[in-house]
Amino acid sequence: MSGWQETPSTAVLILRDGTRLEGRGIGAVGASAGEVCFNTAMTGYQEILTDPSYAGQIITFTFPHIGNVGANDEDIETVNMAGASGVRGAVLKADITNPSNYRAAEKLDAWLKKRGIIGIAGLDTRALTALIREKGMADAVIAHAPDGRFDDAALKAELDAFPGLEGLDLAKEVSTTQTYKWDETRWRHGEGYGRVEDPQFHVVAIDFGAKRNILRCIADQGVRVTVVPATATAEDVLAHNPDGIFLSNGPGDPAATGDYAVPTIKALIETGKPVFGICLGHQLLALALGGQTVKMHQGHHGANHPVKDLTTGKVEITSMNHGFAVDSDSLPAGITQTHVSLFDGSNAGLAVEGKPIFSVQYHPEASPGPHDAHYLFTRFLNHVREQKGIEKAAEHA
């Protein structure tokens, strides 16, 4: 398989099996190795490229027109706005066009350069996606050289040095290193982002690669949020006297991150405080409860994944981004599977029977994606309200 181009190649994507794709370079100049995945979302490319859960990965966009609404400072998802999210590269079908959106502050190509993200345009992304579906997510090296000259030996060495995501802990690379407060709420048209006024509750969020909009959705429930590093101990978390504990999304192999995170989560479970996990946080919670995780063949990456909430019978369209999954057969007695993917039947949620502890595999904050699962943030805070003897709020998207 090869890429197509009408002008001389200034970028290459070389897979572990030797497949070499040539195209036009965009974004930063240089080379980077990572795992190639594909994302099926039609919108939200800036949020996707700044999602820390993509650390170590090269993203292939199946939607051909990426960059047509430009970029801005409001749609960045990594908490560190000046730093990179950890994404290793971007693969596009069509060239980036001039932006056509009133919110655009700069062109995507300039934005990629500024954030150090290497990109390649002009590839047959449908063929690359088909290859991933057939053979699984492949390790690759992506390179951009404006003069079209590539040192294949150096690129091979870069690829050989990439260990792959299995067994790799990336949460430490994207997590905050210092504890901080968060009070920004969700974006509203004509208003922008708001601030929590007179918060009723206090939640500690353990940052394994948290997205800004997830923190906003928690704050939107009238919550003061304290964010702590991925390596925080149970004592560190409880010193803040939280009403509830949130386990964030993040990248890498949950089993590797679990070496230090699982003992902390086990101790937090014993407190009886409400716990809510998303994505990597869901997988780490499962490990702490005695379950296991497995590497997926092609992963789930997109904003159109149907999931059934087994507690309500409702089917919702969700945003997903994960290459590992909880093995539902490994969940011990007392742990209920609450959500399931309607694409492949994989686990998408769990709850601890009789305790205010639950998690989901997908991203309910809709950034990017549909709003179907916003009710989960209310469900989390309703556990807090119940413990405080406060009337529950209605769950709705």
| In a shared domain, residues 197 and 337 | yes
Q: Kindly state whether residue 166 falls inside one of the protein's structural domains.
A: no
| In a shared domain, residues 210 and 155 | no
| In a shared domain, residues 266 and 341 | yes
The number of folded domains in the chain is 2
Is the pLDDT assigned to residue 20 strictly greater than 60? Answer: yes
| In a shared domain, residues 147 and 231 | no
* Apex 320 CA angle, 164 and 251, nearest 5: 35
- pLDDT tens track for 149-172: 999 999 999 999 999 999 999 999
Identify the three-state secondary structure at position 280. Answer: helix
CATH number, residue 269 = 3.40.50.880
Nearest CA to 254 out of 281, 214, 290 is that of 281
| In a shared domain, residues 70 and 198 | no
Which secondary-structure segment (H or E) carries 317?
strand 314-326
Select from 135, 161, 187 the last residue of a domain.
161
Is 371 catalytic? The answer is no
Select from 142, 161, 180 the last residue of a domain.
161
Q: Kindly state whether residue 2 falls inside one of the protein's structural domains.
A: no
| In a shared domain, residues 190 and 213 | yes
Q: Kindly state whether residue 6 falls inside one of the protein's structural domains.
A: no
Q: Kindly state whether residue 396 falls inside one of the protein's structural domains.
A: no
Is 217 catalytic? The answer is no
Three-class HEC string of 138-176: CEEEEEECCCCCCCHHHHHHHHHHCCCCCCCCCHHHHCC
Q: Kindly state whether residue 362 falls inside one of the protein's structural domains.
A: yes
Mean pLDDT across the chain: 95
As a whole number, mean pLDDT of residues 138-153 equals 97
Segments forming the whole domain that contains residue 198: 171-388
Is the pLDDT assigned to residue 93 strictly greater than 60? Answer: yes
| In a shared domain, residues 97 and 115 | yes
Is 365 catalytic? The answer is yes
Angle between helices 375-388 and 212-219 (to 10 degrees): 40
| In a shared domain, residues 138 and 235 | no
The gap between the terminal CA atoms of the chain, to the nearest Å, is 43
Per-residue confidence band for 397, with pLDDT thresholds at 50, 70 and 90: low
pLDDT at 8: 77
Select from 129, 161, 193 the last residue of a domain.
161
Q: Kindly state whether residue 265 falls inside one of the protein's structural domains.
A: yes
The answer to whether the pTM exceeds 0.85 is yes
Active-site pick, 47, 365, 374, 383: 365
| In a shared domain, residues 195 and 276 | yes
Per-residue confidence band for 4, with pLDDT thresholds at 50, 70 and 90: very low
| In a shared domain, residues 175 and 262 | yes
| In a shared domain, residues 32 and 151 | yes
Active-site pick, 144, 279, 339, 383: 279
- pLDDT tens track for 186-211: 888 888 899 999 999 999 999 999 99
Per-residue confidence band for 34, with pLDDT thresholds at 50, 70 and 90: very high
Q: Which residues pair with 207 in a beta bridge?
A: 229
| In a shared domain, residues 201 and 282 | yes
* Apex 183 CA angle, 180 and 184, nearest 5: 120
Q: Kindly state whether residue 108 falls inside one of the protein's structural domains.
A: yes
CATH number, residue 48 = 3.50.30.20
Q: Specify whether the CB–CB gap between 291 and 285 falls below 8 A.
A: no
What lies within 8 Å, CB to CB, of 386 at 6+ separation is 356, 392
Q: Kindly state whether residue 395 falls inside one of the protein's structural domains.
A: no
As a whole number, mean pLDDT of residues 95-108 equals 95
pLDDT at 6: 54
